[in-house]
Amino acid sequence: MVSFEPHPLLRNRHLMTFAAALWPRRYPLLPSPADRLFEVEPGTQVLARCHWQAEPQRRPTLVLVHGLEGSSESPYMLGIAGKAFRAGFSVLRMNQRNCGGTERLTPSLYNSGLSGDYRAVLMELVERDALPEVFFSGYSMGGNLVLKMAGDLGAASPAQLRAVATVCPGLDLAAGADALALPGNSIYEWNFLRDLRKRLRRKAQLFPERYRLDGIGRIRTLREWDDVVTAPHCGYRDANDYYARASALRVAGKIGVPTLILVAQDDPFIPLGSFRDPAIVQNPNITVVAPLHGGHCAFISNTDGEERYWAEARVVEFCLRHSKLAGAKGP
């Protein structure tokens, strides 16, 4: 695996993280998507922006899942989609429930425990579309979701699920919430809470009988949001119950497919200690790569071209290595 050498101007964790969102990018050769709705439970659909190869039943497929308050249009989703498509994969850029302007597709909220949504997507691709090889990749919150899906499946994982690759997965929700509340991370927490409030207001307009907005302006931490909003609306007792039951770390020891975890040692709010848990370390199917730098889901390297966004290239490389259909040629 190519080692990560950060851009010399981005050795600071926060600059690296901000640059990933603000650095101008182009996405060449990514064809226009075809939209597809997946019914993941009665009354709930999620939207995928799909880039299909010719004869998709003869090609590998990569399903991408974004992070908290992201969408199918997040820069890393488009970046990795372009790399994977050029490498021969069909690519599905998923929107989590309510994301990417899809609030009308479900009365429910999204949360980090909804790994069943991606199990439903996987099974539809296998059973209805007869796709021979399916890979999943998730960033941050999306990383927790796809790892939890793989852990929940365990030994019952279908043969068509070939591998899972994640970038800075928030697989220990309690530790992540506590890290996010540290003084140096206030900008991230403020930004997440601002967007979560906006989303809840949109949901309340669509489903006024279900959601009340009383007091949401007084919420100051993500843990408090999960205690007041996420837990009661998503079937959890409180934030602690939500974090315990929804964290992929709880089932990581059962993951039975090749799994890549990329995480930076200087990630502002994903503690490295989570990846030293015995459930991770003692599972031979899981490979953890933790460069010194990288920020949160950034990994902007000191190299031009395909290697500029190092984590995206490594995810595609890993999936290629575990595909029998894509061939040996890398991105």
Q: How confident is the model at residue 30 (pLDDT cuts 50, 70, 90)?
A: confident
pLDDT for 146-173, tens place per residue?
Answer: 999 999 999 999 999 999 999 999 999 9
Mean pLDDT across 172-184: 96
Residue 23 clears pLDDT 90, i.e. is over it: no
Dihedral sign computed on CA atoms, order 225, 196, 107, 151: negative
Give Cβ neighbours of residue 38 (< 8 Å, ≥ 6 apart).
Answer: 45, 46, 48, 117, 120, 121, 124
- pLDDT of 327 over the 80 cut: no
First to last CA, the chain: 13
Task: State the pLDDT at residue 2.
Answer: 87
| pLDDT of res. 331 | 37
| Integer CA distances (angstroms), 93 to 63, 178, 289, 306, in order | 6, 30, 24, 19
Average pLDDT over residues 315-329: 85
71-75, 105-109, 327-331: which range is least confident on average? 327-331
Query: What percentage of the chain has pLDDT greater than the value 90?
Result: 93
d(CA 84, CA 98): 25
Q: In terms of Cα–Cα distance, which of 122, 116, 112, 121 is closest to 162? A: 122
Residue 112 DSSP code: T
CA dihedral (112, 309, 281, 137) positive or negative: positive
Minimal CA–CA distance to 154: which of 245, 256, 247, 249? 256
Q: What is the mean pLDDT of residues 188-197?
A: 96
Torsion region of 29: left, alpha or beta (phi above 0 gives left; psi -120 to 50 gives alpha): left
pLDDT of residue 306: 82
Q: Is the pLDDT of residue 29 over 80?
A: no
The pLDDT score that the predictor gives to residue 308 is 94
Quickly state the pLDDT bin for 328 (edges 50, 70, 90). very low
Cα 53 to Cα 62: distance, rounded to the nearest angstrom: 11
Average pLDDT over residues 94-118: 97
DSSP assignments along 188-199, one per residue:
HHHHHHHHHHHH
Encoded tokens for 100: 């990417």
Question: Is the pLDDT confidence value at 330 over 70?
Answer: no
pTM metric for this prediction: 0.96
Helix/strand/coil for 251:
coil
Task: Identify the pLDDT of residue 149.
Answer: 98
HEC profile of 8-58:
CCCCCHHHHHHHHHHCCCCCCCCCCCEEEEEEEECCEEEEEEEECCCCHHH
Mean pLDDT of 113-126: 98
- 245-260 pLDDT, tens per residue? 999 999 999 999 999 9
